Amino acid sequence: MKLTDYFDKHKEIISKHLTTFLEERRKNSPDNVTDHYYRLSDFTIRGKMLRGIFVILAFEAYGGKVNENVLNAAAAMEMAQASFLIHDDIMDRDLLRRGRDTIFAQYIEEGKIQKVRNPEFYGQSMGIVSGDLTILMSYELLSLSSGVTKISNNIVTLAAREMQNVALGQFMDYVFGQTHSEPSEDQILTMYEYKTGGYTFALPFIIGALLAGANDREIAQLNKMGRYLGTIFQIKDDEMAIFEDEEKIGKPVGSDIRENKKTLIRCLLYKKATNEESRFLDSCFGNQKITQQNIKELQDVIIKYHIRDEIHERVENLSQKALQIIQTFNIVPEYNLLFKELEHYNKTRST
C-alpha cells in the first residue's frame, strides 16, 4: 500500500471514530452548548489527521491489529491537535484555518448575530473555552485507550509531559514574536522541537508502539526519529507560510510575517541582509497591514540569498538521520517501506 492510500484509509477510520465520540458527548451536554461539538467535528475532519494516523502506523508496524483502544489513542492525538490550533489561532489572530473560519472567528460572527456587547471578546473567550474542553476530551480518549493498566499510565504520563512541552514551545514562540528579542538558530530549533517535533511525530509513534508491545530500545528509536521528522515538519510549515498559495495551506499567506514569527528562515535572512534590506525587513515583520507586494519583495530577498537552499540542506541532513534510524527498524517490510515513504513525503510536502 502506498503512503497516500494509507493516509486516506486511516483518516476515514479515525474521522468516523471521532464523529461518533463527539456525537455521544453532544447528546449528554446542555442544549445551549451542543453547537460546539458540531463545530469541533467539522474542524477536526477537515485536517489531515496525521498524528492519529501515526499512532496507527506505529501500532501496526509492531504487530498490532486496529481495535477500539488504538482508535481512541489516535482520536486523542487529533483532539489535542485541534485544541492547540484553536488557541493558536486566537493568539495569532488568524481568522482562517483549513480553508474556513477559525473556531473563534465563528464565535465572533455568532456574537454579532446574538448582539453581544463585544463580539470579538466573545469570540476569543468562547474559543479559549472550546480549546480547553477539547484538550480535556483528548485525555479522556487516552484514558480509554488501554484501560487501567501500566501501559495506560505510561501513555497518559508521556502525553502530559509532551503537551506541556507544546505549551512551553508556544510560550517561546509568542515571546519571540511579541518582543524585540532575536533568538539564535539553536533557540529557534529548540522551540521547534518543543512546539512541534515531539507531539507531531514522536509522541504518536511512541503511543502506537507502546500499545503494540514494543520494547524500550524500539521506543527510543521511534522517539529520536520522530523528533527529527517533527523539526523538519515545522521548518516546512514556515517555508509554506511564506511561499505557498492560501488555497493550499488553508490560511492567509504571510500570517507568520504579520505576527513577526521568529522562524529559521527569518533568522538566516537577517544574517545576510544589507543595512538597507534589514530596514525593509523591519518594516515587514510585525506589520499587520503588510501588502501582497511587500510579501513578494520579501520573497525576492529570500531567493536572492538562497535561504531556501540553506533550509533544504538542513532538512536533508535531518531527514538522512531519520532514514538511518528507519533502516534499523525490526518490523514487517511493508511498514518499513511506509516509514521510508513518510521520510520522503515529510521533506518534500507542499501542503
Q: Note down pLDDT in tens along the chain; length 351 residues.
A: 899 999 999 999 999 999 999 999 999 888 878 888 999 999 999 999 999 999 999 999 999 999 999 999 999 999 999 999 999 999 988 898 887 899 999 999 999 999 999 999 999 999 999 999 999 999 999 988 866 466 767 899 999 999 999 999 999 999 998 888 899 999 999 999 999 989 999 999 999 999 999 999 999 999 999 999 999 999 999 999 999 877 676 667 788 899 899 999 999 999 999 999 999 999 999 998 999 999 999 999 999 999 999 999 999 999 999 999 999 998 988 999 999 999 999 999 988
DSSP for 320-336, please give it. HHHHHHHTT--S-HHHH
Torsion of CA 275, 279, 284, 289, to 10 degrees: -170
C-alpha cell at 349: 510536502
pLDDT reported for residue 147? 62
DSSP for 264-297, please give it. HHHHHHHHH--HHHHHHHHHHTT-TT--HHHHHH
pLDDT reported for residue 148? 47
Partner residues linked to 96 by β-bridges? 101
Where are the domains positioned within the chain?
Answer: 3-346
Is residue 94 within 8 A of residue 102, CB to CB? The reply is yes
**CATH number assigned to the domain covering 3-346:** 1.10.600.10
156: closest CA among 146, 165, 147, 143?
Answer: 143
Displacement of CA 67 from its chain's centroid (Å): 25
Q: List CB contacts of 97: < 8 A, sequence separation 6 or more.
A: 43, 85, 89, 103, 250, 251
- HSE of 108 in the Cβ direction (CA atoms, 13 Å)? 13
pLDDT reported for residue 43? 93
- HSE of 121 in the Cβ direction (CA atoms, 13 Å)? 4
Tell me: the pLDDT tens digits for 135-166? 999 999 998 886 646 676 789 999 999 999 99
pLDDT reported for residue 305? 96
- Burial label for 313, CB within 10 Å (0-12, 13-18, 19+), is exposed
